[in-house]
A and B are shown apart, each in its own frame.
Chain A
Amino acid sequence: DTGVSQDPRHKITKRGQNVTFRCDPISEHNRLYWYRQTLGQGPEFLTYFQNEAQLEKSRLLSDRFSAERPKGSFSTLEIQRTEQGDSAMYLCASSLFGQGNHEQYFGPGTRLTVT
Chain B
Amino acid sequence: AQRVTQPEKLLSVFKGAPVELKCNYSYSGSPELFWYVQYSRQRLQLLLRHISRESIKGFTADLNKGETSFHLKKPFAQEEDSAMYYCALSGQGGNKLVFGAGTILRVKS
- Measured CB to CB, the residues of A under 8 A from B are 3-4, 31, 33, 35, 40-45, 48, 56, 58, 91, 95, 97, 101-109
B61-69, B74-82, B99-107: which one contacts chain A?
B99-107
Q: How far is the CA of A108 from the CA of B86 in the complex (A)?
A: 16
Residue in B51, B52, B86, B101 whose beta carbon sits within 8 Å of that of A40 in the complex: B101
Contact B44 A106 (CB under 8 A): yes
Interface residues of B in 67-98 (CB under 8 A from A): 86, 88, 93-98
Is B45 in the interface zone, CB < 8 Å from A? yes
Contacts of B57 on A, CB cut-off 8 Å?
none
Contact A108 B43 (CB under 8 A): yes
Size bin of chain B's contact surface: 20 to 34
As a 0/1 sequence over residues 46 to 58 of chain B, the CB contacts with chain A under 8 angstroms (1 = contact) are: 1001011000000
Contacts of B102 on A, CB cut-off 8 Å?
41-42
Besides A91-B44, A95-B94, A107-B43, 5 more A-B contacts (Cβ < 8 Å) are: A42-B100, A45-B98, A101-B49, A103-B46, A106-B44
Contact A45 B44 (CB under 8 A): no
Q: How far is the CA of A105 from the CA of B86 in the complex (A)?
A: 14
